[in-house]
């Protein structure tokens, strides 16, 4: 092979590599030093956000930007960090995607807004506020902090969360709570269905309401609850033999049940306008 041909090939390879690099994803790594209980806010219109517990006093953010039509705005003020995926002119749901992998101190408070991407939070003990339009919201193995989730259409899964307030508002996204307990657990859904599997522990108040979505709660035989279930137009069933109790509303036959189980430590309200309600006994 002649020297000229070799040189031409070398230049071609270099050029193609340069084009590929320019057109490909860009990676950005951010590091912040923080004190106790930092507050971190992430606003990402498109793309996933995954947050896990990392080292104390440090926030590490690895971001992959899918194009040059989006940039990351960052600011730190004392113990507060704000991260915004700033969409530039012409950005859309593809070119505006930023993928975040975030490590925060376990005691951090987190506020995440994602229009379309999924959000995952794991092993955290601070307060969590998650808002989204269509992406899935997942909270796993968290405790001692409040968990607030608002979603329009994305499904919500909260698993193994204890000892905090859990509040979920959803329009059409399904909501699934698994081993969730605390002093206050509330789900407010329009058409999305609500599923709960757990023991209603914590001597708490559990309130699941929907407009048309079905509600299904699965509890063990040893559950200690004072439960009221009512659907104005849907079917209501219970697998448990409950001790009857007085209800503060006109009781239409077949569309409600109310009673206690065990020592009735927790209050459980299952309410729907036209969805079905089923309190199941865990086998």
Binding residues for another protein, rule: CB under 8 A, are: 45, 87, 113, 115, 131-133, 150, 152-153, 169, 171-172, 188, 190-191, 207, 209, 211-213, 228, 230-237, 248-250, 252-255, 269, 271, 273-276
Instruction: Supply the minimum distance, in Å, between the C-beta of residue 47 and another protein.
Output: 13
Residue with tokens 């048309």: 212
Instruction: Supply the minimum distance, in Å, between the C-beta of residue 114 and another protein.
Output: 10
Instruction: Supply the minimum distance, in Å, between the C-beta of residue 105 and another protein.
Output: 27
Q: Which is nearer to another protein, 53 or 236 (CB)?
A: 236
Instruction: Supply the minimum distance, in Å, between the C-beta of residue 194 and another protein.
Output: 12
Q: Which is nearer to another protein, 222 or 250 (CB)?
A: 250
Q: Which is nearer to another protein, 204 or 213 (CB)?
A: 213
Q: Which is nearer to another protein, 25 or 92 (CB)?
A: 92
Per DSSP, helices labelled H in 116-226 are none
Instruction: Supply the minimum distance, in Å, between the C-beta of residue 128 and another protein.
Output: 17
Q: Which is nearer to another protein, 145 or 275 (CB)?
A: 275
Instruction: Supply the minimum distance, in Å, between the C-beta of residue 255 and another protein.
Output: 5
C-alpha 155/C-alpha 189 separation (Å) is 11
Residue 13's SS3 state is helix
265 in Cβ contact with 227 (< 8 Å): no
Instruction: Supply the minimum distance, in Å, between the C-beta of residue 63 and another protein.
Output: 17
C-alpha 137/C-alpha 149 separation (Å) is 8
**Smallest Cα–Cα separation from 235: which of 261, 205, 272?**
272
Q: Which is nearer to another protein, 62 or 153 (CB)?
A: 153
Q: Which is nearer to another protein, 23 or 253 (CB)?
A: 253
* Strand pairing category for 98-104 and 58-65: antiparallel
Residue 165's SS3 state is strand
Q: How many CA atoms lie within 13 A of 146 on its CB side?
A: 8
Q: How many CA atoms lie within 13 A of 279 on its CB side?
A: 31
Q: Copy the structure tokens of residue 271.
A: 């309410």
For residue 37, the Cα-to-chain-centroid distance in whole angstroms is 20
CA distances from 218 to 60, 140, 180, 187, 195 (A): 39, 19, 12, 15, 8
């Amino acid at each position: 092979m002649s020297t000229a041909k070799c040189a031409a090939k070398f230049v071609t390879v270099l050029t193609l590599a340069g084009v590929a690099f320019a057109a490909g994803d860009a990676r950005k790594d951010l590091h912040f030093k923080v004190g106790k209980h930092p507050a971190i806010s992430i606003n990402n219109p498109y793309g996933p956000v995954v947050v896990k517990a990392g080292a104390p006093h440090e926030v590490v953010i690895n971001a992959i930007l899918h194009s040059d039509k989006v940039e990351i705005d960052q600011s730190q003020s004392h113990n507060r960090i704000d991260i915004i995926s700033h969409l530039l002119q012409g950005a859309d749901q593809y070119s505006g995607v930023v993928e975040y992998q975030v490590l925060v101190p376990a005691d951090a408070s987190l506020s995440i807004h994602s229009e379309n991407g999924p959000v995952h939070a794991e092993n955290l003990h601070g307060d969590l506020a998650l808002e989204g339009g269509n992406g899935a919201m997942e909270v796993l193995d968290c405790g001692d902090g409040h968990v607030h989730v608002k979603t329009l259409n994305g499904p919500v899964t909260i698993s193994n969360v204890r000892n905090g307030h859990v509040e979920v508002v959803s329009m059409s996204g399904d909501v699934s709570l698994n081993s969730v307990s605390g002093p206050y657990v509330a789900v407010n859904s329009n058409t999305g269905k609500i599923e709960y599997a757990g023991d209603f522990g914590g001597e708490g108040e559990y309130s699941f309401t929907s407009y048309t979505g079905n509600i299904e709660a699965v509890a063990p035989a040893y559950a200690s609850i004072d439960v009221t279930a009512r659907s104005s137009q849907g079917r209501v069933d219970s697998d448990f033999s409950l001790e009857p109790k007085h209800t503060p509303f006109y009781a239409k036959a077949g569309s409600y049940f109310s009673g206690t189980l065990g020592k009735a430590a927790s209050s459980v309200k299952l309410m729907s306008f036209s969805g079905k309600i089923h309190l199941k006994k865990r086998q």
